[in-house]
Structure 1
Amino acid sequence: MKITGYRSLSTVHQWGRPVGDVNGVVQDGVTEVPVLLLETDGGLTGVGLGPHDDIARVFPAVEGQDPRAVSALYDAMLAQVFKSGHAGATYGSIAAIDMALWDLKAKMANEPLWRTLGAADRFVPGYASGLCYGLDDDAFASLYRSWADRGFSAAKIKGGADIGRDIARLETVRDILSVNSARPALMLDVNEMWNRKQAVRHLAEIEARIDLTWIEEPVRRWDADGHAQITRAARASVASGENLTGLEQYMPLIAAGGVDIVQAGSVWGITHFNRVAMVAHAHGLPVSPVAYNANPLAHAAAAVPNMIGVEIQDFGWPDHLDVDQQIVDGGILLGDRPGLGIEVDETGIAQAAKAAGWGAQGGPHRRSREAGLRLVPEPQAKAK
């Protein structure tokens, strides 16, 4: 079987609530979901998820190749773009192809991807992460009660602009999840909003009230020395890595002792996650995949020896995608459908209107000019 071509589609995920973090909130709760379909001459189609704007430049590295040679093809894609670099949109394109290749490899074996990757158990433990920054207090509590109802005893909230609000919300989640555990795991993600000393000071105040499991992205993603300073000052673990796009970007953080929970973003693909997980394992560190639509990395997470928990953001799926998973018992129960277990309704996608505004000027995910410079908490009127 050979790879012959690709089709690029776009659907949406309808969250039913505002979603976002301190850098921006999507108020209508509708986000775009790019879908890559990798074609073969054998009648099978591979599914890859995530932005892949540079697909035309990367695809020649895999065209005409046997999709089962996934690891070799991953390196071939990196080699294809070595001169101009593999970060950003280019790495996203490599990842979408990589995900589709793994999907094809498992489909050719007629087994779910978790089996192909060597997992023994289809259940993947996780933690709740509601992208909850834009919710008012009542909606926030209601959301995390729904996670508690599904057996979750660990959760991550979004914060970073008002430490008092962050503490209050961590206490709310702790009380809600206590129905499932006497000591729920509590995490705070500030999405690079603090500077080094702000992180140390704020964490001291949080840890006087909360048994914090980890602080996520306290400072800029590349600041190895800053991460190390925070790790030494705090009892909580420091988690980072979701925005890093190559092993060479992880090594300064690990070498500096600046990361305790090594994260990998789902939009960077299966092979990337596996390699990051093994580097982390070699340094005695746990790994945690950051969530994305349909939880594609859950299959890989099920097979690595140092997975501490997968982030789970919602109970539903993007429009016109049927996903063979269940969110139960505080994690993901993967199904038996071959490959990633994702079926794409191309007709439905073609008939649906494409979402607008995700990339509009001003957000979301536009870093605030006050990040790391704020002397007092952001006014409550802005932190909805």
Structure 2
Amino acid sequence: MRIVDFRIVRFQFARDRAIGDSQVRIAHAHVATLELITDTGLVGLGFVPSLFNALPSLAEIERIFRAEIWPGIEGEEPAALVHKVRRPRGGNIRGASLPFGEGLDQALWDLAAKQLNLPLWKLLGGTKPRVKAYASGLDFHLSDDDFCALFDHAASIGYTAFKIKVGHPDLERDLHRLDLLVKTVGKPQAIMIDANEGWSPQQTVRNMNIINKAGFDILWIEDPCLRYDFEGLKMIRQGCPFTLVNSGEYFDAHGKRRLIEAHGTDMINVHGYVSEVMRIGWLAAEHGIPVSLGNSFLEIGVNMAIALPEVEWLEYSFQNFDHLIETPFEIRDGWIYAHDRIGHGLTLSETARQDWAVPEVMADEDLPAAPVNTRLPH
């Protein structure tokens, strides 16, 4: 089975709410889908998101892909590519002009699993069909009313663990949001908070002790300080024995390995890059460090979360992308369930391909609004 063709579809639309944290605010969605097609007719799907800026026109995306990526995969066997060990040196250590890496990796693994007629999570060694999910609001820029409405809905459909954004210049605002959360959802199984590097190590120790003394039992503090400050992260671990430090989100595999070896975190945060997640998962298992699966596009990371024994939680953030695929992953009573379909389980919706594709770059003010988010009340 060899790769003989590809298709790319470009999407751009206004989000149904502004998402963000103490450092960023995002109101628009920019993503392309990449489909790799084999000589046997199988199709592997991957996602190419751009978090902050619009992708170029479809013609330009295709031109760059054909020039930079296609020569390395045309005529190749997907299973050989996902297991290929590369020797990056000198000028070979560089990224593509567009963020194709994760989507290419997803599409190749999708094809490799389909060739073996297996769901990806089973190919990766998974045996359990589900993993615990926590409700994450990406809520820093929401009003108090919208904050409460989102988490009230999450609790009503079975979530028992919740993560909120902190890192406001005024700690009282963070305490206020924690108080609102508890009043809204009752006594949760777990509360996680995420500062997105908004604090220094000293601030983190001080703030976490204030939060703890205020009666909030926090399972983990995520990315409290600068990612490279391994000594600061160790200081936080020592100064806050009542909570866990969860870090690594902003690192590639090399950075995550350095973080683990420096003992700078209690948990390691991974995302949607199949090969990288499995690589770090194996390393984390050797060190006995739990893994949390952060946001991955359309929850494709459930395949790796199920396969890795160190993963206890997967993040779900009520982002409105379900209209892009045929059947999203089922989330019920605080658990996310993998598909039994072969491959990673996601297929591009033909309706999205016809009705939601935006080949040319559009100004933000002209963007179509996202469809109704069926995962939220409306």
* TM-score, normalised with respect to structure 2: 0.83
Aligned structure 1 segments of 4 or more residues deviating by more than 4 angstroms: 12-15, 52-56, 85-92, 355-358
Secondary structure at 1:96 match in 2: helix
Question: In structure 2, how many angstroms separate the alpha carbons of the residues matched to 1:256 and 1:201?
Answer: 23
Matches within 5 A, 1:137-176: 137-161=144-168, 162-176=170-184
Residue 62 of structure 1 pairs with residue 73 of structure 2: yes
Query: Counterpart of 1:369?
Result: none
Which SS does the other structure have where 1:111 is aligned? Answer: coil
**1:1-384 correspondence to structure 2 within 5 Å:** 1-12=1-12, 15-27=15-27, 30-51=28-49, 55=65, 56-73=67-84, 75-76=85-86, 79=87, 82-84=89-91, 86=93, 92-161=99-168, 162-178=170-186, 182-209=187-214, 210-234=216-240, 235-246=242-253, 248-266=254-272, 269-314=273-318, 316-345=320-349, 348-349=352-353, 351-352=355-356, 354=358, 356=362
Q: Tell me, yes or no, if the aligned pair for 1:174 and 1:184 is still in contact at 8 Å.
A: no
Instruction: Tell me the distance in 1 between the aligned counterparts of 2:149 and 2:217.
Output: 22
Change (3 A) 1:98 1:309: same
Once structures 1 and 2 are overlaid, which stretch shifts more, 98-107 or 56-65?
A: 56-65
Q: What is the distance in 1 between the residues matched to 2:70 and 2:205? A: 45
Q: Which amino acid aligns with 2:338?
A: L
Displacement of 1:71: 3.7
Find the residue that maps to 2:79 and give its secondary structure: coil
SS in 2 for 1:37: strand
Matched residues, percent identical? Answer: 32
In structure 2, relative to structure 1, the CA distance for the partners of 1:308 and 1:155 (3 Å cut) is same
Matched residues in 1 for 2:311 and 2:363: separation?
35
Cα deviation, residue 95, structure 1 = 2.3
Structure-2 change in CA distance of 1:258 and 1:298 (3 Å): same
Structure 1-normalised TM-score?
Answer: 0.82
Instruction: Give the drift of 1:62.
Output: 2.8
Q: How many residues align?
A: 346
- Does the 8 Å CA contact 1:47/1:99 hold for their aligned counterparts? yes
Q: In the alignment, is the contact (CA less than 8 A) between 1:177 and 1:184 conserved in 2?
A: no
Identify unmatched segments of 5+ residues in structure 2: 51-60, 365-378
- Let me know the Cα RMSD of the aligned residues: 2.5
Distance verdict in 2 for CA 1:87–1:133, change over 3 Å = farther
2:95 and 2:180 mapped to 1: Cα distance? 36
- Match of 1:215, SS? strand
Deviation at 1:347, TM superposition (A): 6.3
How far did 1:263 drift? Answer: 0.6
With over 3 angstroms needed to count, the CA separation of the structure-2 counterparts of 1:102 and 1:21, relative to structure 1, is same
Provide the rounded CA distance (Å) in 1 between the counterparts of 2:95 and 2:243.
30
Cα distance in 2 for residues equivalent to 1:260 and 1:222: 15
- Alpha-carbon deviation of 1:357? 6.4
